[in-house]
Amino acid sequence: MARVNISAYKTRLIKTLISTDTIIDGIDSQSDNYILGQPDSLIYKNIFPFYQVEDIQTFSDTYIMIKISAAANRTSINFFDMRISFLVIAHHSRMRMSGINATRIDYLSDEIRELFNGSTEYGTGILRLINNDEFVLPNNHRYLCRELDFKTFDLLDPVCLEI
């Protein structure tokens, strides 16, 4: 059966995010967490390989979280169906972006969609956007969210990928 190394995929996704200037600017390069010229300083502070931020009640910031789900493909035991989800969260005070006619969560979700939709870098199939939903964080109405779900099929063994 095909192997799925979720951590390797999350690492690749995060590396793609932090190597994209528009993502860094969208998170807000003025964030206290950002060290100029070191976008990896945002990992585990603004970009997370899981769906949780411990200090969300304390800080008014912008976050991107990643979740990957794998399920056996119903038509072939050799492949998995993969769902890659990005959750973009921004405090209501950071929703407006200077010089850009979009909210922060819409801007970041558009950039994420451009980076990943149609990509063949994360499986043998094409990564397709299947959901793009906006909502308010249930337990903290000061945070607005946008979740993007992508689906791919026939995931490659991460050992074969350059990480």
What is the band of 122 on the pLDDT scale with cuts at 50, 70, 90?
A: confident
Q: What is the pLDDT of residue 61?
A: 86
User: Average pLDDT, stretch 47-67?
Assistant: 82
Phi-psi label, residue 44: left if phi above 0, alpha if psi -120 to 50, beta otherwise? left
User: Average pLDDT, stretch 58-73?
Assistant: 84
Q: Does residue 43 lie in a domain region? A: yes
How far is Cα 47 from Cα 114, in angstroms, rounded to an integer? 18
Q: Does the pLDDT value for residue 37 go beyond 80?
A: no
Q: What is the pLDDT of residue 154?
A: 56
Q: Does residue 19 lie in a domain region? A: yes
The CATH number of whichever domain residue 43 belongs to comes to 3.30.2000
Nearest to 84 by CA among 9, 160, 15: 9
Q: What is the pLDDT of residue 12?
A: 93
Domain count, the chain: 1
Q: What is the pLDDT of residue 125?
A: 80
Do 37 and 58 meet the contact criterion of CB atoms below 8 Å apart?
A: no
Q: Does residue 15 lie in a domain region? A: yes
Residue 11: both structure tokens together: 């690492």
Of 34-38, 100-104, 124-128, the range with the lowest mean pLDDT is 34-38
Place of tokens 């939903």: 133
User: Average pLDDT, stretch 2-19?
Assistant: 85
Q: Does residue 1 lie in a domain region? A: no
Q: What is the pLDDT of residue 54?
A: 67
Q: Does residue 123 lie in a domain region? A: yes
What is the band of 70 on the pLDDT scale with cuts at 50, 70, 90?
A: confident
User: Average pLDDT, stretch 137-147?
Assistant: 88
Nearest to 64 by CA among 55, 75, 73, 51: 51
Q: Which residues pair with 36 in a beta bridge?
A: none
Question: Which residue range is the domain that position 84 belongs to?
Answer: 6-160
Strands 128-136 and 143-153: antiparallel
